[in-house]
Amino acid sequence: MKNLSKDNVTKMLNATSKLIVMNHPEANYLSSSTNDNMQQFARMIIKVNNLTRNEHFRDLLEYRVKFEKTITKKHRVKFTYNTGEDLAVKYSKKRVPQLTQVMSGLLDMIVGELNTTHHIKLI
């Protein structure tokens, strides 16, 4: 990853997810479980780390694939990649830990923001 190591991504997601859970004890994969604060955290991460679509999008997608493989291996969640796939329900059924669910949602939010913003000024 350009200027962003995989370890740093993990640490960043972990620390931010802990903050989200601390402020939203019922938080899960869905941003709506945090009154959409997860989206604000995703935007903050993008801004603070100067993440851009051109430099970081592909790397974060690759990280996401590895993260999903880890979730599949540990919790036996099967990702279908179909439109409308409800990961919150799948995570709940497989009892994926809350922090992992929030990290997954946050990572998806960051990837989604980078995919749609094309490096516009955020916040």
Q: Where are the domains of the chain?
A: 6-117
50: tokens are 């100067």
Amino acid identity of residue 29, one-letter, is Y
**Quick one: residue 45, left, alpha or beta (phi over 0 = left, psi -120 to 50 = alpha)?**
alpha
10-to-1, 14, 69, 81 alpha-carbon distances in Å: 12, 6, 15, 22
Per-residue pLDDT of the chain (123 residues; tens, 9 = 90+): 556 788 999 999 999 999 999 999 999 999 999 999 999 999 999 999 899 998 899 999 999 999 999 999 999 999 888 887 889 999 999 999 999 999 999 999 999 999 986 544 544
